[in-house]
């Protein structure tokens, strides 16, 4: 049964039509991802469904009594509200009743008579009519009023949904990493505000959940928790996100928003790519056939004798009809940002050295004795929980902050450019033109480009060039930051959350540009897909300010971490087992000692040797020694197949091979997982036998 049915929806802004009589429906419990370039209308569509924006034509039909919750891309709050009050904003009456109950309970505890303080308990039993009796009577009456007030609050709580709301609220805030629940919303950073808004809508548990970029400002572990939460969510979910792994894991259907039309695709992001490639290949074949027919018709018309004017007129009409059909059936072309880095200044032998870098904040270590060297051509992803110190690391490298100890040593030829996640370098009162350049021409690598053409290449049409930066959406401001970044003559890029608010198509272009960049890149991001495509290694923030370097992308890092955790757990179980065996042996030895000399002919008790963990066999030792090479080869095969599937030419030149390649890719990933599991098993046996 549909939770929502949209029929013939039309929405425009002046001459610009966003939706031209589009229709779709969302079934109860269905999880649907919406995809499209920035500005295609995804957020506007969500605002219309949430009742926060209007439309010119069409209808929206909700299932009777349906509750709708909306997470905006840039949520708003009453700045004076506390975090707790803001999260409970969807159920203020319930939070008020819970607060009333707790207040009554505190007052009851304060006025309740203690043991032996009741009437008649004083010396001599207390005389009737004394002041003590009068005071006790007043306290008893006050107590009765408080108990009645508490009981009324309890009835309201139960009528409004019960006690689990408060516990759920606190649990969600904790899991999203929001602390300081008494802080005012005006004190919070942009990332904290987004997480508070996400907590608010999750606590409401609406039957239709609208989430606009929910993974922005979430670390990888919290993103995975949100995936699990939505997978088990009982209601319907409409979702806008650039996190492609998230889409693959959560949604069962994709809807592409493209040039005023909505195109549905079954499955997650991977299935969407495959289906879209097949659709475009089919349309391209049909268009090529029609173009050939038009060319034949045109050639006939040109060489047709003048006398055959009647037939020629019919032919011309058929030619025009074919042209109109070709135009109407051609799929709309997505506008894609042009991101091309010019050749950066030559890197010297030293790009960047960090020597014993240490930094603390309010007594808490963020970075502890971190030393590393950045080599030419490396693209390093920086990962870790929110608040771990990732942005601080970039600011230390830039020189915007000073370390407590240690040293940052840039190379003589190293020139840095910084992408700031807070967009603090953007003046909200400046126009787009003023933000990019002070002259009419800009230098992009070895190309000289007019500033207006340059802005157009970032999907800012001429009519937007005088617009104030403060009026731009989050995605548009991020595109503007990218435009400014490309104009800097740098060979070391420091990027802090560049993926936030960007659409998937712009992300794909940015990923390709960074892979082709001849300089070095240090990028802070929680986008796992982005890291797997771009990063050659990771700096992972661990506990207590430790930073570990891991070669490869996020998927390899995650598998290694899981294998290490499994090996550590097995080792701990082995040690616990050995301890239990020793305790059992000790108990048996003591029992033997107690019975020694008491058996037949006074025979002393015999002792058993302690149980020994088994050792690796010769074949297992050989297997373990070759495991690293086997894993490396298996991961190389995964990378080869992934690159093949990512090549657009595959889908137009050999689409029939896509299913087999996809199956081989999945088998290769399973092979890598099996190898890591086997390595962890053998390593645990080796450590146990040597321990």
pLDDT tens per residue, range 637-685: 888 887 777 665 665 567 667 667 777 877 888 888 788 888 888 887 8
Q: Is residue 497 domain-shared with residue 384, that is, in the same domain?
A: yes
Q: Is residue 387 domain-shared with residue 257, that is, in the same domain?
A: no
In a domain, 447, yes or no: yes
In a domain, 588, yes or no: no
In a domain, 595, yes or no: no
Judge contact between 65 and 235, C-beta under 8 A. Answer: no
User: Final residue of a domain: which of 266, 285, 314?
Assistant: 266
Rounded to 5 degrees, φ, ψ at 189 are -75, 170
pLDDT at 603 over 50: no
Q: Is residue 252 domain-shared with residue 283, that is, in the same domain?
A: no
pLDDT at 49 over 90: yes
Instruction: Give CA–CA dist 177/460, Å, rounded.
Output: 36
Average confidence (pLDDT) over 306-317: 54
Q: Is residue 297 domain-shared with residue 371, that is, in the same domain?
A: no
Q: Is residue 296 domain-shared with residue 413, that is, in the same domain?
A: no
In a domain, 16, yes or no: yes
Helix, strand, coil percent values for the chain (each to nearest 5): 50, 20, 30
In the numeric block, which tokens belong to residue 33? Answer: 């991802």
pLDDT at 146: 84
Which residues are CB-neighbours of 488 under 8 A, at least 6 positions away? 415, 417
In a domain, 288, yes or no: yes
CATH number of the domain bearing residue 28: 3.40.50.300
Instruction: Give CA–CA dist 682/194, Å, rounded.
Output: 44
Q: Is residue 522 domain-shared with residue 423, that is, in the same domain?
A: yes
Instruction: Give CA–CA dist 520/510, Å, rounded.
Output: 15
Residues in the chain: 691
Residue the block writes with tokens 């039993």: 125
Looking at the 3D structure of the chain, how many domains does it have?
4
Q: Is residue 294 domain-shared with residue 257, that is, in the same domain?
A: no
Q: Is residue 260 domain-shared with residue 276, that is, in the same domain?
A: no
In the numeric block, which tokens belong to residue 136? Answer: 């006790």
Q: Is residue 259 domain-shared with residue 277, that is, in the same domain?
A: no
Q: Which domain holds residue 48?
A: 2-82+167-266
Query: Exposure string (b/e) for 383-422, b if CB count within 10 Å is 16 or more?
Result: bbbbbbbbbbbbbbbeeeeebeebebebbeebebbbbbbe
Q: DSSP class of residue 603?
A: P
In the numeric block, which tokens belong to residue 237? Answer: 């979910």
pLDDT at 512 over 80: yes
Average confidence (pLDDT) over 100-108: 83
The pLDDT > 70 percentage for the chain reads 81
pLDDT band per the 50, 70, 90 thresholds, residue 349: confident
627-646 vs 658-690: helix crossing angle, rounded to 10: 160
pLDDT at 114 over 60: no
Judge contact between 33 and 269, C-beta under 8 A. Answer: yes
Helices (H) and strands (E) in the chain, counts: 21, 20
Average confidence (pLDDT) over 255-281: 86
pLDDT at 19: 92
Between 284 and 63, the higher pLDDT residue: 63
- What tens digit of pLDDT does each residue of 138-188 get? 777 888 888 888 888 888 887 776 667 777 888 899 899 888 888 899 988
pLDDT at 119: 41
Of 442, 653, 526, which is closest to residue 227 (Cα–Cα)? 526
What integer best gives the mean pLDDT of the chain? 81
User: Final residue of a domain: which of 552, 569, 598?
Assistant: 552
Q: Is residue 395 domain-shared with residue 413, that is, in the same domain?
A: yes
Q: Is residue 536 domain-shared with residue 668, that is, in the same domain?
A: no
């Amino acid at each position: 049964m549909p939770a929502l049915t949209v029929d013939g929806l039309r929405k425009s802004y002046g001459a610009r039509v966003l939706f031209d009589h589009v229709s779709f429906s969302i079934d109860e419990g269905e999880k649907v991802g919406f995809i499209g370039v920035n500005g295609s209308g995804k957020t506007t569509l969500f605002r219309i469904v949430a009742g926060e924006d209007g439309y010119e034509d069409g209808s929206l039909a909700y299932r009777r009594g349906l509750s709708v919750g909306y997470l905006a891309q840039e949520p708003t709050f009453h700045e004076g509200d506390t975090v707790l009050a803001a999260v409970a904003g969807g159920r203020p009456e319930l939070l008020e009743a819970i607060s009333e109950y707790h207040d009554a309970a505190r007052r009851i505890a304060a006025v309740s008579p203690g043991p032996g303080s009741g009437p008649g308990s004083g010396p001599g039993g207390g005389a009737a009519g004394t002041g003590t009796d009068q005071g006790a009577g007043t306290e008893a009456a006050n107590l009765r009023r408080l108990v009645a007030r508490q009981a009324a609050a309890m009835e309201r709580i139960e009528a409004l949904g019960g006690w689990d709301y408060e516990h759920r609220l606190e649990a969600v805030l904790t899991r999203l990493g929001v602390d300081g629940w008494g802080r005012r919303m005006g004190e919070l950073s942009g990332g904290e505000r987004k997480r508070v808004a996400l907590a608010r809508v999750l606590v409401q548990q609406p039957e239709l959940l609208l989430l606009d970029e929910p993974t922005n400002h979430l670390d990888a572990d919290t993103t995975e928790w949100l995936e699990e939460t939505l997978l088990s969510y009982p209601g319907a979910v409409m979702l806008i996100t650039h996190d492609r792994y998230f889409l693959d894991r959560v949604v069962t259907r994709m809807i592409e928003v493209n040039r005023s039309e909505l195109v549905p695709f079954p499955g997650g992001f991977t299935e969407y790519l495959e289906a879209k490639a097949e659709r475009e290949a089919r349309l391209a074949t049909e268009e090529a056939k029609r173009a050939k027919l038009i060319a034949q018709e045109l050639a006939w018309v040109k060489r047709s004798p003048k006398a055959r004017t009647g037939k020629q007129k019919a032919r011309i009409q058929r030619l025009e009809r074919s042209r109109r059909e070709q135009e109407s059936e051609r799929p709309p072309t997505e506008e894609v940002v042009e991101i091309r880095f010019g050749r950066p200044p030559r890197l010297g032998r030293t790009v960047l050295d960090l020597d014993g870098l240490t930094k603390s904040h309010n007594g808490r270590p963020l970075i502890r004795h971190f030393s590393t060297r950045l080599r030419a051509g490396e693209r390093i992803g920086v990962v870790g929980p929110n608040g771990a110190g990732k942005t601080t690391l970039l600011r230390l490298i830039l020189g915007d902050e000073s370390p407590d100890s240690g040293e940052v040593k840039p190379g003589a030829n190293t020139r840095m450019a910084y992408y700031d996640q807070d967009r603090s370098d953007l003046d909200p009162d400046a126009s787009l033109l003023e933000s990019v350049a002070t002259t009419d021409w800009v230098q992009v690598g070895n190309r000289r480009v007019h500033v207006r053409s340059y802005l157009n290449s970032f999907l800012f049409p001429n009519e937007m060039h005088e617009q104030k930066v403060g009026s731009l959406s989050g995605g548009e401001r991020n595109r503007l930051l990218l435009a400014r970044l490309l104009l800097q003559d740098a060979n070391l890029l420091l990027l802090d959350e560049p993926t936030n608010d960007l659409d998937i198509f712009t992300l794909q272009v940015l990923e390709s540009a960074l892979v082709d960049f001849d300089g070095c890149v240090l990028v802070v991001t929680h986008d796992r897909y982005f890291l797997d495509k771009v990063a050659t290694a990771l700096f992972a923030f661990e506990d207590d300010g430790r930073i570990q370097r891991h070669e490869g992308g996020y998927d390899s890092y995650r598998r290694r971490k899981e294998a290490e955790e499994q090996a550590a757990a097995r080792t701990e179980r082995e040690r616990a087992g050995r301890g239990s065996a020793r305790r059992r042996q000790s108990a048996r030895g003591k029992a033997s000692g107690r019975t020694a000399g008491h058996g037949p002919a006074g025979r002393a008790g015999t002792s058993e040797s302690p149980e020994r963990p088994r050792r690796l066999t010769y074949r297992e030792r050989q297997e373990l020694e070759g495991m690293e090479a086997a894993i490396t080869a298996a991961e190389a095969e995964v990378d080869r197949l992934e690159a093949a599937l990512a090549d657009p030419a595959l889908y137009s030149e050999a689409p029939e091979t896509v299913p087999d390649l996809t199956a081989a890719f999945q088998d290769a990933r399973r092979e890598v997982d099996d190898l890591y599991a086997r390595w962890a098993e053998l390593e645990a046996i080796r450590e146990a036998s040597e321990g």
